[in-house]
Amino acid sequence: MGSIGAERTITGWAARDSSGVLSPYTYTLRETGPEDVYIKVTCCGVCHTDVHQVKNDLGMSNYPMVPGHEVVGEVVEVGSEVTKFKVGDIVGAGCIVGSCKHCQPCKSDNEQYCNKKIWSYNDVYTDQKPTQGGFAEAMVVDQKFVVHIPEGMGAEQAAPLLCAGVTIYSPLKHFGLMQSGLKGAILGLGGVGHMGVKIAKAMGHHVTVVSSSEKKREEALDHLGADDYLVSSDADKMQEQFDSYDYIIDTIPVFHPLEPYLSLLKLDGKLILMGVINTPLQFVSPMVMLGRKCITGSFIGSMKETEEMLQFCKEKNLSSTIETVKMDYINTALERLEKNDVRYRFVVDVAGSKLT
């Protein structure tokens, strides 16, 4: 794999423009620093954010771009100052590969809110080289932003947890919503939403899935174990659930009105936004004021929370519901993901794929 500190030329699959079509791309990894871990990628989950990025939906994409931020792999080299990992460890890396390490968020284990955080792809590292993601043979990541995968947890199962899993776990912990007996609702049953059902149920919550149609009722109740299913267009059923929920986790990644869901919250209930939307959302202020309700957001989770979440999932025997594909299927997978045609997360078998 080369010597410590040397640059390596590797192959990944990159988008070249806003068509979002990925194809083989050869590039040079940044040099491995003293606190870096060199990871041979085993597999990588596919997130809806990858679609937004490769298609420049947010207007900030730079090309060529190798996406992928739910990365599991094997440590093949470590820098001279690495203390957390050794060669042969199975590890994970997520959305962030760097931060300033000095600001208040960084010092309080909230580095995901650092204003100088460095994204795992579509960003520039401290050496001014572009960052590239996990749809590739390898990555170099600061040990601060790498986590151990618990022994016995399959790589393909662990990958989506590094984004979808911790994205759900973090707000439940931060807002004091981990105790049993709470009543929660999950809006949207995609990659994040399905993990929301599983994790909230494992915490002992009564969980309702809210969707726009009946299409996912059987899936939610029979396969994921939700307690109830609510169709948002059914005004009578929505009215029956008025003032019922301690929290609502909103994973819908497209524009939608907030008022129908705010009415479901109890006094001091929280609507937690997680869907990435480039259109302003609207609500009328009395919907919030009259119940002292809170509209807030949460972004992935810290490295500490990621480690906690992985242990929680291992202890509770939780896993992602996935469809494993090879890299040559990635463009079809992205198209299907955009249409919500997946149960519930694609994972690319990078090590088992022909990348060139």
For 283-324, the pLDDT digits (tens) are: 999 999 999 999 999 999 999 999 999 999 999 999 889 999
CA distance 5 to 274: 38
User: Locate tokens 């309702």: which residue?
Assistant: 208
Residue 67 has pLDDT above 70, yes or no: yes
CATH code of domain 8-148+321-349: 3.90.180.10
- Which residue in this structure is represented by tokens 């947010």? 58
Phi/psi-derived region of residue 19, left when phi > 0, alpha when psi is between -120 and 50, beta in every other case: alpha
Counting Cα atoms < 13 Å in the Cβ hemisphere of 275 gives 22
Pairs from 276-279 (Cβ < 8 Å, separation ≥ 24): 276/48, 276/49, 276/52, 276/58, 277/252, 277/253, 278/57, 278/58, 278/59, 279/255
Residue 104: its pLDDT value, please? Answer: 98
CATH topology of domain 164-297: Rossmann fold (3.40.50)
pLDDT at 254 over 90: no
Residue 110 has pLDDT above 60, yes or no: yes
Which pLDDT belongs to residue 1?
Answer: 41
Alpha helices in the chain (DSSP H): 48-54, 104-107, 155-160, 166-174, 191-202, 217-218, 235-240, 259-262, 286-289, 303-315, 330-338
Residue 5 confidence class, pLDDT cut points 50, 70, 90: low
Residue 4 pLDDT class (50, 70, 90 cuts) = low
Instruction: Give the residue extent of every domain in the chain.
Output: 8-148+321-349, 164-297
pLDDT at 148: 98
Q: What's the rounded mean pLDDT across residues 121-134?
A: 95
pLDDT 10s digits, 131-150 = 999 999 999 999 999 999 99
pLDDT higher than 50, residue 2: no
What integer pLDDT is reported at residue 39 of this predicted model? 98
Coil, helix or strand at residue 168: helix
The whole-number pLDDT of residue 272 equals 98
Average pLDDT on 275-284 reads: 88
